[in-house]
Amino acid sequence: MFKVYAPGMNEFAIRRVVIVGGGTAGWMAAALLARGLGRACEIRLIESAEIGTVGVGEATIPQIQHINAFLGIDENDLMRFTHGTYKLGVQLNDWGRVGDSYIHAFGDVGLPLGLLPFHHYWLRSRAQGDAHSLWSYSLNAAAAAANRFAKLDKVSDTPLGGIRYAYQFDAARYARYLRERIPEGAVTRIEGKVVEVKLRGEDGFIESLRLESGEIVAGDLFIDCSGFRGLLIEGALKTGYENWQHWLPCDRAIAVASERTTPMRPYTQAFARTAGWQWRIALQHRTGNGHVYCSRFISDDEAAAQLLANLGSEPLEDPRPLRFVTGMRKLSWNRNCLALGLAAGFMEPLESTSIHLVQSGVARFLGMFPDRHCDPLLVDTYNRQTRFEYERVRDFLILHYKATERDDTPFWRQCAAMDVPDALEQRIELFRRTGLIFREADELFTETGWLQVMLGQRIEPERHHPLADELDESRLQGFLSDIRTLVNRTAARLPSHDEFVARVGRLPQASATGLPPMPRHVHERGVS
């Protein structure tokens, strides 16, 4: 995923990279660039201790493990430092109807058979009266329901995949962790505030920055991690911003930490509220909470009261407000400036994509690393690929709002009635008519992710694929029964999440899979 850059003998090679802004985006960019560029470039990061960071993102998706591998991070060390816990998916409550609950679980659901994805066989069986839910075939979902966790690559001696996981952690400590583990001398931190950006007259590229102290910081390439204000990408280069609030209507959030709760759930929770939704994330030392809402339908005071009334444990601080506009910059890379994190765009944290978009932005940039000319064709290619990624993530998030049967508040009635992007409308209708889901190119969310949200929010397909009818009925039921058996027995043998977190880094795992050997009776029947 990440590439190491070798500048060769190019006289126009970039030698000076300047990052503006710290926080998760800035220090992730610094760490990845330092590893990818080696000593080919001088990397400087400008940040001010007086400027706070948003720091509300505490949950991730499994792709963050690519960062660990690339940077050589010891996972146990990371979890200790960031007070982290493990994440098996996102539990969504009250989204389809009040009282509904389902999980968007990471990892596989069932097993494909022949040419067809698993869910077509499940749909066929359900049409015949089978009451087992789709999530009966997900090991992640079964483990989450029981608050259990272990590192498990696969279920031994079976074709069934294992546990796929991400992290929940203190975002501020994660940024500090990355910063402290950058090799000495690879990145120079400069304390200060940027007060002026100087552009070159001939091409409009950024030439240098002037700090409040009077210091001039020149560079060949500039990375904007300055947050919502986009000090370079917008303030200096006037790139423009594409507003997506007509699809993602929430425009404010309130965040507050509360006391630690037990058991620590190995999944993020998202509770739909009257005019938005609330997150709850269990960490080792506290619980992260927040209320994302639309200010046109609820006041700030009402939103804060609703959050505090639904914490589940005593608050540890005063609620912190945040305002935002969902959308993205019209260009993520403009001239010799690359925007990352909130400077590049913002889509609310419903599916924990913010850190991943920084990660993928840096990875894509390293793969296209320019010289000082910043070839326009290269820049256009980067921007086109970035837009594709953002728009597909956007559509996945819109689905959560559009696919609702709630009509109990004006907010949800508006969400249900809104027009959505054509690509999303076509995807929903294709699934509704045929049960088919197709992943486009290398978009972030898989067919299984789309499947769980659509079914979880009551989008029901009219039929299953006709090839699923070719399987003999007894073989179909044996196939389904075997998977359920493997899922249930494996989940039951996992340690509790609290137990696993408590021993992280202290004791070696029992085996390479994180489990003792599988009892023989689990394998009495093979999976067809």
Distance CA 5, CA 16 (A): 14
Distance CA 196, CA 192 (A): 12
Instruction: Check: CB of residue 206 under 8 Å from CB of residue 236.
Output: yes
What SS3 class is residue 16?
strand
87 carries an active-site annotation: yes
Distance CA 9, CA 291 (A): 52
What SS3 class is residue 241?
strand
Q: How far is CA 284 from the centre of its chain?
A: 20
* R_g (Cα) of the chain, nearest Å: 24
Distance CA 166, CA 59 (A): 8
Q: Which of 3, 87, 193, 330 is catalytic?
A: 87
CA distances 378 to 34, 199, 448, Å, are 22, 21, 33
Q: Position of tokens 């109990």?
A: 408
Evaluate the omega torsion of the peptide bond into residue 410 and state whether it is cis, within 30 degrees of 0: no
CA distances 19 to 92, 188, 510, Å, are 37, 10, 43
- Supply the angle between the helices 23-37 and 171-180 in degrees, to the nearest 10: 30
Distance CA 119, CA 463 (A): 11
Q: Position of tokens 């509770």?
A: 271
Q: Residue 418 contacts by C-beta under 8 Å, 6 or more apart in sequence?
A: 246, 247, 401, 402
Q: Please choose, from the candidates 195, 167, 7, 176, the residue with its C-alpha nearest in 3D space to the C-alpha of residue 79.
A: 167
Q: Residue 130 contacts by C-beta under 8 Å, 6 or more apart in sequence?
A: 122, 480
Q: Please choose, from the candidates 387, 398, 386, 396, the residue with its C-alpha nearest in 3D space to the C-alpha of residue 362.
A: 386
- The number of CA neighbours under 13 Å toward the Cβ of 29 is 30
Q: Position of tokens 């001239």?
A: 335
E strands present in 175-275: 187-191, 194-199, 206-211, 216-218, 221-224, 241-243, 252-258, 268-273
CB atoms within 10 A of CB 487: 23
E strands present in 274-340: 276-282, 287-293, 320-323, 327-329, 333-334, 337-339
Q: Please choose, from the candidates 130, 137, 123, the residue with its C-alpha nearest in 3D space to the C-alpha of residue 467.
A: 123
Distance CA 44, CA 42 (A): 7
CB atoms within 10 A of CB 440: 9
Active site residues: 87
